[in-house]
């Protein structure tokens, strides 16, 4: 029997195909070889394409690179926690609000301190109108509420600016957006301000004695002037003395009233000055206490917001960071496995390519 070269080449192809784990079969003696080739060639072509695709995927695998976003996010979160623990602009905002408020408070204190002068026996006593002090006790806490609103508004704006700077950096967008911090709750002003009692007294004589003293001075002055011009005492009728004494009493009464008015004005000025000094000192000390209370209230509120940042990190950041780390680890493991399988895949592709060449030679 004459050997068939085509069948020899077919057997050589079958040996190569078996190395590539490609199923083949020997044709029967009465079976046409071209029909078997037509049956096997599509499977070989599909296996070769699959091997090339698998090799392409294995060589194109890349591990997701960490661009430092999680590290920058941790730095931004730590800085935010530091700002919440110790706000750097708190004292500055407190001083700014106080400076802008003090001129108006000074005018308010001056307008509410109305001196009241009354006579108690032979003594003039000057005090401050209690209604004005009551109005001050009511209005000063309202000014402190406005002061606290000013400080809180600016402090919230400062924190928001710091968050925007930390999360919008040149290096790129951070993996997780910033936490949402609610507004700072306003404080409850419960401190009572106490003003010192201010009173000034001055002893005054009776009005009759003051009038007689002034009338006597005027009468002596008039008589002296009369005698100075050479008028003798005997030439002056008695009724002239009577009229002169009456005029001296009238002028003395006017002078006494003027003296009492001047004393009252001096007392009012003195009690106003003393009351303003004492009240302003009490107001300044009270505002110092309010500044400390406002600072402590704001620090307490920011401490609660730091707890919100910790919860945000635990509920939003940590799960995403762990998922990202797991994804990178899985990609690295997949890449390592692909590198281990790469020689086998390359050998399979070469074998299938040789099989396709051998089949084409049949």
| Residue boundaries of the structural domains of the chain | 84-316
Which residues on neighbouring strands pair with residue 169, listed in sequence order?
A: 172
Average pLDDT over residues 116-145: 76
The larger pLDDT score, comparing residue 120 to residue 236, is at 120
Which pLDDT value is given to residue 122?
A: 59
Write out pLDDT tens, residues 28-74.
666 677 777 777 788 888 888 888 888 788 777 676 666 678 889 99
Whole-number percent of the chain with pLDDT over 90:
19
Task: Collect all residues with Cβ–Cβ distance below 8 Å to 91 and sequence separation of at least 6.
Answer: 295
> Residue 124: is its pLDDT beyond 70?
no
Whole-number percent of the chain with pLDDT over 70:
72
Beta strands in the chain (DSSP E): 115-120, 123-128, 168-169, 172-173, 199-203
Which pLDDT value is given to residue 351?
A: 81
Write out pLDDT tens, residues 246-305.
665 665 566 666 666 666 677 667 777 777 778 888 888 888 988 999 999 999 999 999
> Residue 153: is its pLDDT beyond 90?
yes
Output the pTM of the full model. 0.62
Enclosing H/E stretch for 264: helix 238-312
Write out pLDDT tens, residues 295-305.
999 999 999 99
The larger pLDDT score, comparing residue 252 to residue 141, is at 141
The larger pLDDT score, comparing residue 151 to residue 189, is at 151
DSSP per-residue codes, 325-337: HHHHHHHHHHHHH
Task: Collect all residues with Cβ–Cβ distance below 8 Å to 104 and sequence separation of at least 6.
Answer: 143
User: For all residues of the chain together, what is the average pLDDT?
Assistant: 77
């Amino acid at each position: 029997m004459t050997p068939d070269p085509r069948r020899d080449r077919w057997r050589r192809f079958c040996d190569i195909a078996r190395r590539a784990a490609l199923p083949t079969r020997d044709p029967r003696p009465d079976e046409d070889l071209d029909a078997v080739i037509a049956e096997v060639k599509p499977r070989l072509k599909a296996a070769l394409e699959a091997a090339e695709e698998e090799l392409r995927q294995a060589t194109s695998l890349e591990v997701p690179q960490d661009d430092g976003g999680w590290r920058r996010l941790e730095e931004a979160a730590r800085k935010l926690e530091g700002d919440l623990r110790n706000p750097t602009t708190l004292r500055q905002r407190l001083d700014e609000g106080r400076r802008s408020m003090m001129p108006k408070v000074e005018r308010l204190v001056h307008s509410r301190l109305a001196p009241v002068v009354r006579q108690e026996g032979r003594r003039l006593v000057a005090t401050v109108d209690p209604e004005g002090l009551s109005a001050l006790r009511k209005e000063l806490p309202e000014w402190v509420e406005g002061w606290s609103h000013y400080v809180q508004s600016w402090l919230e704006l400062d924190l928001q600016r710091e968050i925007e700077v930390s999360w919008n950096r040149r290096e790129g967008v951070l993996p997780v957006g910033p936490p949402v911090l609610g507004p700072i709750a306003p404080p409850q002003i419960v401190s009572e301000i106490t003003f010192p009692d201010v009173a000034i007294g001055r002893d005054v004589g009776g009005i009759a004695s003051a009038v007689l003293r002034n009338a006597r001075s005027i009468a002596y002055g008039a008589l002296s002037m009369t005698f100075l011009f050479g008028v003798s005492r005997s030439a002056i009728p008695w009724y002239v003395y009577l009229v002169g004494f009456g005029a001296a009493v009238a002028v003395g009464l006017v002078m006494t009233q003027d003296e009492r008015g001047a004393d009252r004005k001096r007392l009012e000025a003195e009690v106003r000055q003393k009351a303003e000094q004492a009240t302003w000192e009490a107001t300044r000390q009270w505002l110092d206490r309010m500044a400390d209370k406002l600072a402590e209230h704001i620090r307490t509120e920011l401490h609660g917001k730091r707890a919100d940042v910790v919860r945000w990190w635990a509920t939003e950041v940590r799960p995403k960071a762990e998922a990202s780390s797991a994804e990178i680890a899985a990609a690295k493991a997949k890449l390592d496995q692909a590198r281990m399988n790469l020689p086998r895949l390359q050998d399979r592709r070469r074998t299938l390519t040789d099989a396709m060449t051998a089949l084409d030679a049949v």
